[in-house]
Amino acid sequence: MAHHKDFVHCPMCGTELERKQRTGDIRPVCPNCDYTVYYDPKVAVVMLVVHEDAVLLVKRGVEPKKGTWALPAGFVNATEDPAQAAARELREETGLEVENVRLLDVFPNPGDGTADILIAYGADVVGGRLSADDDAVDVGFFSPGTLPQTAFLTTEWLIERWLAGRLPD
């Protein structure tokens, strides 16, 4: 995976790094102190919420795909539980509170260019007030007959599973 901010110098001793084979991959390695740079994957979460036979979508206010509809999603912070991150992102973008957060799927390399791993959750709405906030400019529940065009393949896949009745309870 190409990283736009590859390390050039060793973070331990400042020596210019070389690229060497380490643990199965070519990685930046310090020829002076033998420090190896390991890149952590970017992990994101997405939340599928269905209420009264309608799915919750947000209209994106930021790139990528600004102005398109998607499931509420965002990145997991360091040390944050992914399920709690999904509930946090949902609350930040929609104003809604959820419980019964449950794992739906894990998508390695989902292909949208933003995350290396995307973890999908489902949940039940238990409170809050529906309003777009954070990086969402609009929010709403859409029944099967009113679904807008969506932004990401993972959103499409999860909505297809919901429509086909193939989601875990």
Please say whether the beta carbons of 149 and 60 come within 8 A.
no
Alpha helices, H only, 62-127: 82-94
Instruction: Note whether 49 and 30 are same-domain residues.
Output: no
Instruction: Note whether 92 and 25 are same-domain residues.
Output: no
Parent domain of 101: 43-163
Residue 168 maps to a domain? no
Residue 116 maps to a domain? yes
CATH classification of the domain holding 13: 2.20.70
pLDDT tens per residue, range 141-157: 999 999 999 989 999 99
More confident residue, 6 or 45: 45
- Residue 105: Cβ within 10 Å count: 17
In this predicted structure, what is the pLDDT of residue 88? 96
In this predicted structure, what is the pLDDT of residue 134? 85
Instruction: Note whether 135 and 76 are same-domain residues.
Output: yes
Residue 124 maps to a domain? yes
Averaged pLDDT of the chain:
90
Residue 25 maps to a domain? yes
Instruction: Note whether 62 and 15 are same-domain residues.
Output: no
C-alpha Rg value of the chain to the nearest Å: 19
In this predicted structure, what is the pLDDT of residue 89? 96
Instruction: Note whether 11 and 31 are same-domain residues.
Output: yes
DSSP-derived 3-state class of residue 52: coil
Instruction: Note whether 127 and 76 are same-domain residues.
Output: yes
In this predicted structure, what is the pLDDT of residue 151? 84
Number of domains the chain contains:
2
**Exposed, middle or buried, 133 (CB in 10 Å: 0-12/13-18/19+)?**
middle
pLDDT band at 5 (very low <50, low <70, confident <90, very high): low
Considering 87-96, 128-137, 150-159, the range whose residues carry the highest mean pLDDT is 87-96
In this predicted structure, what is the pLDDT of residue 2? 43
CATH classification of the domain holding 92: 3.90.79.10
In this predicted structure, what is the pLDDT of residue 3? 44
In this predicted structure, what is the pLDDT of residue 6? 73
Instruction: Note whether 65 and 146 are same-domain residues.
Output: yes
Instruction: Note whether 32 and 91 are same-domain residues.
Output: no
Instruction: Note whether 30 and 94 are same-domain residues.
Output: no
In this predicted structure, what is the pLDDT of residue 1? 39
pLDDT tens per residue, range 56-93: 999 998 888 889 999 999 999 989 999 999 999 999 99
Instruction: Note whether 49 and 25 are same-domain residues.
Output: no
What is the helix (H) or strand (E) element at residue 93, kind and residue range? helix 82-94
Strand partners, 16: 9
